[in-house]
Amino acid sequence: MVFERLFAREIKKRWLFLISVAYSAIGLALSRLLFGANSGLVAIVFISLLFLPIMKKIFEKENKTRNNCCLRFYFLTKNIIWSYFVIFLGVFLVFTVYSFVLPQIGFDTSSILKEQLFVDPALRGSAFDFSLMGSIFMNNFWVLLACFVLSLFFVEGGIFFIIWNASAWGTLFGYRALTAALYSGESAWLYLLLIFLITLPHFFFEGLAYVFAAVSGAKISLLITNSKKVKKFFSILGISILIFVGAYMVLYYLDQFLLLKIFSIGLTFLLVYLLSRLFENAKSYKLFTDYYWVFVFAFILFLIGAVIETFVLMNSETLNRIYEFSYLYLT
């Protein structure tokens, strides 16, 4: 692959942000040219494919080192963590510009990025109350879980959902600010700045949680591969899926949605813990335990982000007013 040859030696940190911006622009352009409207999800696929060679090279470099405690996990994987986070910011910036600036010069981006816009309950006029936290928590939890599970199956696989989440946030921020300004007559740039400042805390915690979940899954994936217990891994995974499907059908039939949410979270942690049965020697088990606690740390970051997001949505009159203007413009 041309891009893999281009970065065959080493990825310079100072260039990674610019690369993420360039790849995001290329992915959006290709999806628009080849698939036309409703190409928001296709753009994510293109961008992810462009990043795979880079992530592969970064993981190869990191995997030459070994760590034996949770603290050293960070220091020995900080390049991966930093790379994911920088890519997240680059993609976020491009999609913000795409949904905010381009419509002001005549481009209709809302029809192209429908997949990203569809995930926002605010644009559909939902009320903000404490029941919102359950929805926010579970919707974002599935993204966290997807980052982890995709990395389990494919070491660099978590990049897809990290890019997806960055694109959704960038699109929503830009679109909310622009449509709210069109309705109210206020400055779109002011609204965009306000959205950034108000949502920055939960933006940081949730984004970092997805990054840690992806890195944790990738490291456990490498441990499973080296242990040569791949068949046992799929057995554990298959049994967990059957249990989940069975419980989902029963609890859904009984309208016990709260229990379903609690069960889903509990089963996730149980699945991750059961993976420890794949490691017989003490060193591998210790490494797995470290990576397991990294996933727990990712969950804690994610929980903090969900609580902050709910608090902000319920208490920020400025943010709610912007969202309301955006909704009124659409209706």
Nearest to 143 by CA among 124, 167, 127, 125: 167
User: Which band of pLDDT confidence, cut at 50, 70 and 90, is reported for residue 191?
Assistant: very high
pLDDT at 70 over 90: no
Q: What is the rounded (10 degree) CA torsion for 198, 130, 212, 296?
A: 140
If one compares 74 and 17, the residue with the highest pLDDT of the two is 17
Mean pLDDT of the chain: 77
| pTM of full prediction above 0.85 | no
**What integer pLDDT is reported at residue 126 of this predicted model?**
45
pLDDT at 217 over 60: yes
pLDDT at 190 over 90: yes
**What integer pLDDT is reported at residue 13 of this predicted model?**
62
**What integer pLDDT is reported at residue 251 of this predicted model?**
67
Percent of the chain with pLDDT over 70: 76
Rounded mean pLDDT of 45-58? 83
Degrees (nearest 5) of the Cα angle 85, 95, 92? 15
Two structure tokens written together for 3: 């891009």
23-27, 31-35, 231-235, 256-260, range with the lowest pLDDT: 256-260
User: Which band of pLDDT confidence, cut at 50, 70 and 90, is reported for residue 74?
Assistant: low
pLDDT at 209 over 60: yes
The C-alpha atoms of residue 313 and residue 322 are separated, in whole angstroms, by: 11
- Burial per residue of 191-225, b for 16 or more beta-carbon CB atoms within 10 angstroms, e otherwise: bbebbeebbeebbebbbbbbbbbbbbbbbbbbbbe
Residue extents of the structural domains in the chain:
2-229+279-330
H/E run at residue 69: none
Rounded mean pLDDT of 61-67? 58
Q: Where are the alpha helices (DSSP H) in 228-281?
A: 230-253, 257-274
**What integer pLDDT is reported at residue 125 of this predicted model?**
42
Two structure tokens written together for 28: 């959006």
If one compares 180 and 238, the residue with the highest pLDDT of the two is 180
Percent of the chain with pLDDT over 90: 5
The C-alpha atoms of residue 93 and residue 83 are separated, in whole angstroms, by: 15
Two structure tokens written together for 179: 């449509």
For residue range 172-186, what is the model confidence (pLDDT) as tens digits?
A: 898 889 989 989 888
For residue range 273-290, what is the model confidence (pLDDT) as tens digits?
A: 777 777 777 777 777 887
**What integer pLDDT is reported at residue 329 of this predicted model?**
82
Q: What is the rounded (10 degree) CA torsion for 217, 219, 220, 225?
A: 120
Q: Which long-range contacts (CB under 8 A, 24 or more apart) does 163-166 make?
A: 163/44, 163/47, 163/48, 163/51, 163/87, 163/88, 163/91, 164/44, 165/88, 165/206, 165/207, 165/210, 166/87, 166/88, 166/89, 166/90, 166/91, 166/92, 166/95, 166/207
What single letter denotes the amino acid at residue 218?
A
Q: Are residues 124 and 49 in contact, defined by beta-carbon separation less than 8 angstroms?
A: no
**What integer pLDDT is reported at residue 48 of this predicted model?**
86
Q: What is the rounded (10 degree) CA torsion for 247, 253, 256, 261?
A: 40
CA-based end-to-end distance of the chain: 47
Residue with tokens 């209709």: 108
For residue range 128-151, what is the model confidence (pLDDT) as tens digits?
A: 444 566 667 777 777 788 888 888
User: Which band of pLDDT confidence, cut at 50, 70 and 90, is reported for residue 55?
Assistant: confident
pLDDT at 213 over 80: yes
